[in-house]
Amino acid sequence: MDIRSFDSEYVEKNLDMPGCVELMEDTLLKLHRGGFEQYLRTGQPMPGGNIIAFMPAFCFDGYFGAKILSVFPKNSRDGFPSHQGQILIFDGEHGELKALVDATSVTKIRTGAVSGAASKYLARKDSKILALLGAGEQAESHLKAISGLFALDEVRVWNHNKSKAESFCGAHRAIAGGAVLKAADSAEEAVRGADIICTLTPSKEPVVKYEWIKPGAHINAVGACTKDARELDTETVRRARFFCDSVESVMAEAGDYVIPMNEGAFGKEHLVGTLGQLFAGEIEGRTSDEDITIFESLGLAAEDLAAAKYLMDK
């Protein structure tokens, strides 16, 4: 059996951000139209607050597979990525394992790309100011994705440890597309007046408050991927048009939504729909320049598999 292996160097070189934004748009549309069977992931908590996750999906184009990865939220302190593992691709005819693709780099790039695609449809076209809350791997990929799609003037980076935000700004000027990068003193300072806000932290408590948000802003809420974690306060979610990658995942995994829902702030019907429905033109995105929109990103195996298959075919 010949199993091919694609390392992070290959992924970083061959999965360019503009191409990946398009690929994720196609993938979420295909998922919506029944091209994938997407199964709910298993995230098994382990000692130390870490997780081992199994994310499977089946594609009717003739392949299936899974991403298996560890999530170590405190890893950035020691210079390791928070998500590490492999994507396994099998052929759909005989179930043969065909390839292993580095999951650390795919996860980083595809997550920024999905938020890029969401922002393309939901953010105001004249968006000029980007706020990044968190200064890790996802901050880098969101900066790349969003600065490639909008003519940004300014990017504010907030991190709970300010020196990390400062070093992030120093290291990433080249990918900011000419925008000025600034380390913010507080999340409030970063968010006030921002047109696009990306929440990219493992925080369990809200890092964004409704009263800071400018009317018309778009939020990519990426960091909170479990039922007990949230980055947005109740009022932000209640007042916004709320979109997601998967409704099933939101109800099972999104503290941003289920914590306020379980407290009675709104019901299931508050969720407008998925990116797939939006890309298919079946639901309306923003209805006015004043709407606040949220894309809740949980991350799907279909996205990982599609990226891995693209790399394998390349």
Ligand X SMILES: NC(=O)c1ccc[n+]([C@@H]2O[C@H](COP(=O)([O-])OP(=O)(O)OC[C@H]3O[C@@H](n4cnc5c(N)ncnc54)[C@H](O)[C@@H]3O)[C@@H](O)[C@H]2O)c1
Residues that bind ligand X (CB under 6 A): 71, 75-76, 82-83, 107, 111, 134-138, 159-161, 164, 200-203, 207, 222-223, 225, 297-299
Which residue's CB atom is positioned nearest to ligand X? 136
**Closest to ligand X by CB, 97 or 247:** 247
**Closest to ligand X by CB, 85 or 136:** 136
**Closest to ligand X by CB, 76 or 236:** 76
Residue 111 C-beta: closest distance to ligand X, Å: 4
Residue 219 C-beta: closest distance to ligand X, Å: 13
Residue 139 C-beta: closest distance to ligand X, Å: 6
**Closest to ligand X by CB, 164 or 172:** 164
**Closest to ligand X by CB, 4 or 77:** 77
Residue 7 C-beta: closest distance to ligand X, Å: 18
Instruction: Tell me the β-bridge partners of 57.
Output: 38, 65
Encode 36-48: b = buried (16+ Cβ within 10 Å), e = exposed: bebbebebeeeee
**Residue located via tokens 């907030």:** 158
**Closest to ligand X by CB, 13 or 160:** 160
**Closest to ligand X by CB, 127 or 138:** 138
